[in-house]
Each structure stands twice: as structure tokens, then as C-alpha cells.
Structure 1
């Protein structure tokens, strides 16, 4: 009888421990709340060849596995001196760059932007065919640019005129007004309080293997893979 009681007591103890562990927030288990969880390279949301023929498999592989990985690695290396920054998260860091210590601020700005911009970029593209803007986002485009065609022309102009490396963005302010901007290098709209709706990477590594110096052709073909469903979500969830 004593043996059975001991087994039963042990079972209750084990069950209590499991229950307590299940109540601990996931973020705390992973260390995010303690500020010691490093940024990681997230996988693409689709296969490397999913955007063919508009964006080739080799470009996607190098772009994600080499270029974005370098941004992740360099960001972790910089923040290693100030691990408390991890608790702010990627967006928190970019929204408050002035709080980043001076000696790593420029490195963090470039590499945190590189990580964030690319994570956004992958989500704003999709292999799903024949997507077009709809709903509230289309209404806002027609309101602020007079027509979808006018918007596309202005967006392409911003992407073409971005000298050197950078991005072109459709952004919203907190009131839902849309505008088109371009940013140099890996600067992100969220650092200036704007909400990105769609964005195109016009660094040469995003298109050169397939298009060489034909940035205009790359932009024209990119419209075929824009994920307008995600863009609508971005606009609907603006804060």
C-alpha cells in the first residue's frame, strides 16, 4: 500500500510541475522577456522557385540565404554588447533608434532595417496569380492617386529614381492617407512613423542575375507577384 501511495504522490508531483511549466509564457521560455533571444533567419513563406518566371530561384536563394542572413548575423553581433536591446524586438528597435547606443547605432540601423525590410518583402510577394488591390485599400489608392494606373506609374518612378541601392514603398500614416516614398540603403518607413503597405527592393542583388541593369523590366514584372491580400491586411491593421 505504501508503495502505491508513493507512486501516486510522485504522479501528482509530476503533473503539478507539467502544469506550472505550461503556464509560463512562451516568450519567457525562449528568453525574449529576459532580452537574451537572438534574432533568427526566418524561412521563406514559399519555395525558392515559387515566384518564377518573374523572380528566379537562384536570385531568391542568394537573396535570402546570403544577403538577409548577413543582416541577421551582423545585427546579432552588434547587439551582443547590449543584449537588453533584444527585449525591444525588431520593430521596437527601428521605431526608437535614438535609444540605441551611439557606438552601434548606425550598424543597427542598417542591419535591423535589412532584416525587417526583407521579412516584409517576402510577405508582400506571393505565387498566387492575378491579384489586384480591393476593398478599402483600392478605395484609398483611387482617393490619393486618382487611379490604380496613376499609382503604379508613380510607384515605378520612385523605384526607378532611387539612386544606388534602396527601396520604394507605398505607405500609410495613422489616418489612412497613402503616399509613395523611397528610402536609401536599408532605411525603413517605420523609423519615421509610417506604415509600409507594399515595398520593392531595388538593390541590384534583388534582380541583377535575371535582369542585369534592366531595373525597369524588373519593376514591371514584379507587379505579377505582389500579394495584394497581404497589402490589404497591412492597410486594414494600420496603427
Structure 2
């Protein structure tokens, strides 16, 4: 959200240790308070130097990157606007394991239609997250009213029309950060273990809400 032409670090909707043992407290503290905060600082600096960006939401900024003709500014907004939007989204689709729940009826039906089952979704999503080389994200998106799994590099996301390929463009309803800073303290180089643990802390009610409005 924009406030006085600047963005602020959103408060986590749970304690740093609430996602343990699946995501550890120290990782959450550093990920939220250092990495996310750095993206916000860099984004705010860019906004302060470019009046035409003031008052725009982070979603509006990342959704219209192709209109930015200054290549250096576009890269800054792509990396840091993307970093802010992606992380704000990520915190909201996580929840303590005891509250994770199951996909609601409408979402479950869409998952079954697209992937055959929730296990089919997990298989496709896990593959996308595992095979994303280097840093990036795996996403479940709504594209042409259907669910689809895609992945993006760095801090790109499926909202970035004309930046990501058409096949990756859509409305995210679920996402997983597979940058090393999201898991390395606890899982080291075992990204697949982190991906498997992620499913224990998915906030399915939030995913269903986003699916309904997509």
C-alpha cells in the first residue's frame, strides 16, 4: 500500500516463530526485517526521485513496467517494486500449520480440473519451484479463468505484463519464494525439503479468497 507517496514494511500477521518447524524464526526475522525492508527502501528512493510515480500502488508500478522508458529506472522498479509486492503477498499466504486448512470447494474444484487433484497441483508446483535455476519464485496463477503453475526469475512476478512471457502472465493466488535467503539457514542447499515443508503452512483460506477475486 502507498502512504504519503512512500511504502512501509507491512507487519507480519503472525509471530516470527509461528511457522516453525517448517520455516524457522531467524529466517523469518531476517527475511522480513532485512530483505523486504531493503526492497522498500530502494523503491521509496526511486519514487522520491520521480514525481510521476508518487501515489501509485506497488501493483500499479509492477503492472506497467513496460511504460517506463528509462532502462535503469525500469530495472530498479522491476527488482524492488517486484520484491516489495512479492514479499507482501508471500507473508499473507502463509499461516501457522494448525490454521493451514484445506482448499475451499470452488478452489478445490478448479485444482481438480487443472491438475487432477491437490497432489497433482503439488507435484507441478514443486517441479516448477525446484527447477527454477538460481533465484526466483514459483506461482499458482489464474490465467484465462483457469489455474496454471508458472515460475519467474529474481523478483519478477506474473503481474508484469510485457516483462514476463505471455505464458507466465496472470493473477497470482499462491507463491513461493525460492531465493536462498528464504530457506538457507534451516535447509542449506536442500531446496526440495523447504518446498515440501511449505505446504504445511499454506493459508488456504487466503488462497481461496484470492482465487475468488481473480
Give your verdict on TM over 0.5.
yes
Say if 2:89 is the partner of 1:120. yes
- Residue 139 of structure 1 is matched in structure 2 by 109
| Aligned partner of 2:47 among 72, 79, 83 | 79
Displacement of 1:211 after TM fit? Answer: 0.3
Could you list the per-position Cα deviations for residues 90-133 of structure 1 after superposition, in whole angstroms to 9, with x for gaps in the alignment?
A: 11111111223414110111000000000000000001525221
Paired residues of 1:93 and 1:100 also in contact (CA < 8 A): no
**Correspondence for 1:68 among 33, 36, 48:** 36
Q: Which has the higher contact order (CA 8 A, sep 6+)?
A: 2
Instruction: Classify the secondary structure of the residue corresponding to 2:173.
Output: strand
- Once residues 152 and 116 of structure 2 are traced to their aligned partners in structure 1, the CA distance between those partners, rounded to angstroms, is 24
Helix, strand or coil at the partner of 1:149: helix
- Counterpart in the other structure of 1:177: 146
Task: Give the structure with the larger helix fraction.
Answer: 1
Q: Does 1:94 align with 2:62?
A: yes
Which stretch of the first structure deviates more once superposed, 178-187 or 95-104? 95-104
- C-alpha distance in structure 1 between counterparts of 2:51 and 2:59, whole Å: 16
Segment drifting more, 190-199 vs 125-134: 125-134
Over aligned residues, Cα RMSD in angstroms? 1.6
Q: Distance in 1 between matches of 2:201 and 2:92?
A: 11
Q: 1:227 matched to which residue of 2?
A: 203
CA deviations over 1:188-230 (Å, ceiling 9, x no partner): 1111351101000000000000000000100111100000000
Could you tell me which of 159, 184, 187 is aligned with 1:190? Answer: 159
Unpaired runs of at least 5, structure 1 = 1-26
Taking structure 1 as the reference length, what is the TM-score of the superposition? 0.82
Q: Residue 206 of structure 1 is aligned with which of 182, 206, 210?
A: 182
Note the residue ranges of structure 2 that are not aligned, 5 or more in a row.
162-168
Greater Cα offset, 83-92 or 181-190: 83-92
Larger Rg: 1
Is 1:47–2:4 an aligned residue pair? no
The separation in 1 between residues aligned to 2:145 and 2:101, in whole angstroms, is: 22
1:159 to 129, 136, 160: 129
Mapped to 1, the partners of 2:54 and 2:109 lie a distance apart of 38
Contact kept in structure 1, 2:140 and 2:175, CA below 8 Å: yes
